[in-house]
Amino acid sequence: MVTILQKNIMVLIDTVYQKVLAIANKEQRGYITPQEFNLYADQAQKDIFEQYFYDINQFERVKGNNTEYSDMLDKLNEKLSIFKKESDLTYSTDHFSLPNNIYRLGSLFYKKNIIVQEINTRDYVYLKSSPLLKPTNANPVYINIDQKLYVYPDIINDDISCSYVRKPTPPNWPYVFIDDMPFYDDSNVVNFELHRSEENNLVNKILQLAGIMMNNELYQVASQEEIKDIQQEKS
């Protein structure tokens, strides 16, 4: 079941599903099954989520003292806030393991307040041979190899934590069949985790994905809707 708080901060998948079906039906472009919708919904959410990082990178390059760019950057960071997490890491044999749902690693900490600097293998060979620069408990470092974190000095085997951005949870429009027709069953619903302002963007992207698979004309309908949204935001 969906709480009132969740309704205020996320995009409801049933709302998006009904909009997608209504547009597809209005334009007589064919039927999108629940299974197809769930696949498109997951991809659409991933696309929008990954676009945030591209946009942030672009705005950070040019923002300077531009208030407009700074405001847009703030909005993007606000949209990502739900995905920002902190976690204590588990030590196994010789390394620390990252969370399974990690998308991008932020900072690594020792005892919560000592920043662990990332280095590469070449740097470590140089540092460990230097009496002045070799890693210590007060100045630890780590190497990331295939999502396994090797922390030095290697006597450190606990008290490591990190900040990170997690992956979005795949959305799911659950359904049951009654008389061979799918009906919404909210007992197992997984709503979109994107900011509620992304609702129309999700609808458009799902239609585009479905249009590529079904009919190019459906893609054109979605593109026209997206252009309208952009024009409204600018006005």
Cβ density class 41-78: b for 16+ within 10 Å, e for less:
bbebbeebbeebeeeeeebeeeeeeeeebeebbeebee
Query: Coil, strand or helix: which one is 88?
Result: strand
Alpha helices for 63-118 (secondary structure H)? 67-80
Neighbours of 211 (CB within 10 A): 22
Final residue before a domain boundary, out of 145, 166, 187: 166
> How high is the pLDDT of residue 64?
60
Same domain? 126 vs 158: yes
Same domain? 216 vs 146: no
- Strands 90-92 and 95-97, by their bridges, are antiparallel
Give domain status of residue 46, yes or no: yes
* Average pLDDT in the chain: 87
Give domain status of residue 209, yes or no: yes
> How high is the pLDDT of residue 226?
59
> How high is the pLDDT of residue 72?
85
Give domain status of residue 196, yes or no: yes
Between CA 5 and CA 182 the distance in angstroms is 28
| pTM summary value | 0.81
Query: Coil, strand or helix: which one is 107?
Result: strand
Same domain? 187 vs 227: yes
Mean pLDDT of 70-86: 91
Same domain? 183 vs 151: no
Mean pLDDT of 20-28: 81
> How high is the pLDDT of residue 71?
83
> How high is the pLDDT of residue 92?
94
> How high is the pLDDT of residue 66?
66
Give domain status of residue 79, yes or no: no
Same domain? 214 vs 193: yes
- Least confident range from 20-34, 149-163, 166-180: namely 20-34
Cβ density class 22-34: b for 16+ within 10 Å, e for less:
ebbeebebeebeb
Same domain? 162 vs 180: no
- Over 50: is that where the pLDDT of 146 sits? yes
Mean pLDDT of 148-168: 97
Task: Tell me which residue range forms the domain holding 53.
Answer: 4-26+36-59+175-234
Q: pLDDT confidence of 143, banded at 50, 70, 90?
A: very high
Between CA 195 and CA 149 the distance in angstroms is 32
Same domain? 128 vs 199: no
- Least confident range from 37-46, 111-120, 203-212: namely 203-212
- Over 50: is that where the pLDDT of 1 sits? no
Cβ neighbours for 123, distance < 8 A, ≥ 6 positions apart:
141
Same domain? 196 vs 158: no
Same domain? 161 vs 143: yes
Residues in the chain: 235
Query: Coil, strand or helix: which one is 233?
Result: helix
Token pair for 60: 């950070």
Token pair for 116: 């662990």
CB 142 within 8 A of CB 150: yes
> How high is the pLDDT of residue 85?
97
Count of domains forming the chain: 2
Q: ω before 153 within 30° of 0 (cis)?
A: yes
Final residue before a domain boundary, out of 113, 134, 166: 166
- Over 50: is that where the pLDDT of 223 sits? yes
Give domain status of residue 103, yes or no: yes
Final residue before a domain boundary, out of 121, 142, 166: 166
Between CA 78 and CA 42 the distance in angstroms is 21
Give domain status of residue 20, yes or no: yes
- Over 70: is that where the pLDDT of 98 sits? yes
Q: pLDDT confidence of 24, banded at 50, 70, 90?
A: confident
Q: Which residue has the higher pLDDT, 189 or 1?
A: 189
